[in-house]
């Protein structure tokens, strides 16, 4: 038991992020990964009705760098959520949760320097039935070549 406590303590000192939630759902400041940024890193739908149908939100992305960003993957944290990504000339998706309904294909979508893209999130509050009532948090992950993934958060209070 003492060895386990020492091991967990060492893990905390050397890798505290393993024990901390990112807090992105509460952070209204810009989410930035390498040169791809999302000015709105999280969105709150507020209170929504399970019976009123799907809700949608669009997140703006921008490549503020001087070289192209290659988006390789886009996926969601739950089967109740789907996401698509689009540039001015190309649209990919919708994509869902990894491991459910097959693997998430590689996107290989290039966002040129100065170009914007849009991630459209669609959440179905009825997907979980009556057990899905209450506060929900979902994440859309945007993976790019050579950078840490960008997480786009959404929250809602689901009512019957």
- Residue 17 maps to a domain: no
| Beta-strand pair 36-38/42-49 | unpaired
| Owning domain of residue 147 | 23-159
Do 95 and 83 contact (CB within 8 A), yes or no?
yes
Residue 80 lies in a domain: yes
Does any domain span residue 11?
Answer: no
Supply the pTM of this predicted model: 0.77
- Cα–Cα distance, 74 to 8 (Å, whole number): 32
What six digits make up the tokens of 69? Answer: 């960003």
pLDDT at 31: 52
Q: For residue 135, what are its two tokens?
A: 């506060």
> pLDDT tens-digit profile of 20-78?
334 444 444 445 455 889 999 999 999 999 999 999 999 999 999 889 999 999 999 99
| Per-residue pLDDT tens digits for 132-159 | 999 999 999 999 988 899 999 999 999 9
Q: In total, how many domains does the chain have?
A: 1
Asked if the structure places residue 145 within a domain, the reply is yes
CATH number for position 62 = 2.60.40.10
């Amino acid at each position: 038991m003492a060895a386990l406590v020492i091991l967990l303590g060492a893990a905390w000192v050397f890798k505290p992020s393993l024990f901390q939630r990112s807090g992105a759902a509460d952070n209204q400041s810009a989410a930035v990964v390498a040169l791809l940024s999302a000015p709105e890193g999280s969105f709150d739908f507020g209170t929504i009705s399970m019976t009123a149908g799907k809700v949608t939100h669009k997140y703006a992305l921008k490549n503020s760098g001087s070289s192209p960003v290659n988006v390789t993957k886009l996926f969601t944290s739950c089967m109740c959520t789907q996401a698509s990504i689009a540039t001015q000339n190309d649209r990919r998706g919708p994509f869902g949760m990894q491991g459910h309904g097959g693997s998430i294909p590689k996107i290989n979508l290039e966002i040129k320097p100065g170009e914007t893209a849009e991630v459209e999130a669609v959440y179905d509050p009825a997907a979980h039935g009556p057990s899905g009532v209450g506060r929900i948090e979902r994440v859309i992950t945007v993976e790019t070549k050579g950078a840490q993934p960008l997480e786009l958060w959404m929250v809602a209070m689901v009512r019957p």
